[in-house]
Amino acid sequence: MLFTYIYVPHQMERMQRFVNFIFYQVWCRARKLGPYDLTLFDANPPLKEIMTSFAYGDTQAGDRFSSQVQAIYQSFALLSRDQIAQFKRWYQGNNNLEKICANVPNTRLARYADIAVNHRKLSEQLGTFFKGLYTQSLLDLAALRAKIGDINDHYKNFVQINKTGKCPFCGISDLLGEYHTKREAYDHYLPKALYPFNSINFRNLVPACHYCNSSYKTTNDPAYTPKDPVRAVHRRAAFYPYKLGAHSIELQVTLQSSDIANLTPADITLQFGPAAVTEEIDTWKDVYGIEERYKAKFCDESAGKYWLTQVLDEWREDGRDPYDFLATLARQTRSRPYADCNFLRKPFLDACEARGLFQNL
């Protein structure tokens, strides 16, 4: 991840707090609270209003939500105290995104597959419920919107604070901003297809460009490595999208060929730093296909090859020293690294210079 987002508080966070109440105060107490009814929500009046509206309303999404809460309550009523304690650890762990990303030892992390080992039916029920929380049909219900607001408003506030205008996961694609009437999709950083409990937690929801979200990451899991030759997976560290404090990715490009007109990805070597975040960088490269995408950019007629043309042709024909161009680019990269892909353009042209392509100009 090239840079992190600033987390923007919003009324939408109330949805996660409602889910917290349902989990801890309703489901986890099902053993001793008796039959399910709406009095279970008395301690949370705003949520009770929503649950009452859903229970007695005529919307499919509201009825589905209400029915699922009740069905999971009945399943939790059959669990032992130790099993409920385990679910509490899983719930807390899955919502501590910063510790998960840092791969802090003893952080409890549960996938649906982990829960299904001993609780197959409950795993399926939780999957249906939590995957359905982040759906427009539910979030658009009037009774719910009156309490939590609108996700489009959250996005508007978000981009007013996060003004870079580029996807932080690739740095290549623009993000729709405050002057657009549309918005980018929110990516579930820990995929909602794999993980319960955090599908509406905005610490796990990050705007991303279409290519990062839908073409490359899809359901790739930042928390686990891909399967190794014996089909085992291992926990790994990843960049936390809302981590405080800036980090800077270093990129060095090496060209194995001077034939830029016929440059291919096989002719390019990329080295990333700093070493202090090597594991996070490796995860980022794997999840978002970074090496493939950056090498493709360098080989593109409208990107890498054009960048070199600017130096060799346009600037030379104007009678200006190409090294003035490089000096200007260095300043621009320091101040605006993601404008015009400067963070890629500079190391690529540095590699061209190292390859001797600027000699005898």
Q: pLDDT (tens digit, 9 = 90+) per residue, 93-105?
A: 999 999 999 999 9
CA 286, 288, 289, 291 torsion: positive or negative? Answer: negative
The residue among 194, 217, 240 that closes a domain is 217
In this structure, the answer to whether residues 200 and 125 fall within a common structural domain is yes
pTM: 0.93
In this structure, the answer to whether residues 19 and 100 fall within a common structural domain is yes
In this structure, the answer to whether residues 284 and 208 fall within a common structural domain is no
In this structure, the answer to whether residues 196 and 259 fall within a common structural domain is no
Domain range enclosing 305: 250-354
User: Is the CB of residue 11 less than 8 Å from the CB of residue 148?
Assistant: yes
Alpha-carbon distance of 316 to 302, in angstroms, equals: 19
> Could you count the other beta carbons within 10 Å of the beta carbon of residue 68?
17
Alpha-carbon distance of 316 to 345, in angstroms, equals: 18
Query: What's the farthest any 2 CA atoms get from each other in the chain?
Result: 86
Residue 78 has a pLDDT of: 97
Alpha-carbon distance of 261 to 300, in angstroms, equals: 10
Residue 213 has a pLDDT of: 96
Low-confidence ranges of the chain (pLDDT < 50): none
230 domain-assigned = no
Residue 313 has a pLDDT of: 79
In this structure, the answer to whether residues 205 and 297 fall within a common structural domain is no
Alpha-carbon distance of 127 to 248, in angstroms, equals: 37
Residue 101 has a pLDDT of: 97
- How many structural domains is the chain composed of? 2
In this structure, the answer to whether residues 135 and 209 fall within a common structural domain is yes
Q: What is the 3-state secondary structure (H, E, C) of 32-85?
A: HHCCCCHHHHCCCHHHHHHHHHHHHCCCHHHHHHHHHHHHHHHHHCCCCHHHHH
Residues in the chain: 361
In this structure, the answer to whether residues 44 and 157 fall within a common structural domain is yes
Residue 360 has a pLDDT of: 54
In this structure, the answer to whether residues 190 and 322 fall within a common structural domain is no
In this structure, the answer to whether residues 186 and 255 fall within a common structural domain is no
208 domain-assigned = yes
Residue type, 348: F
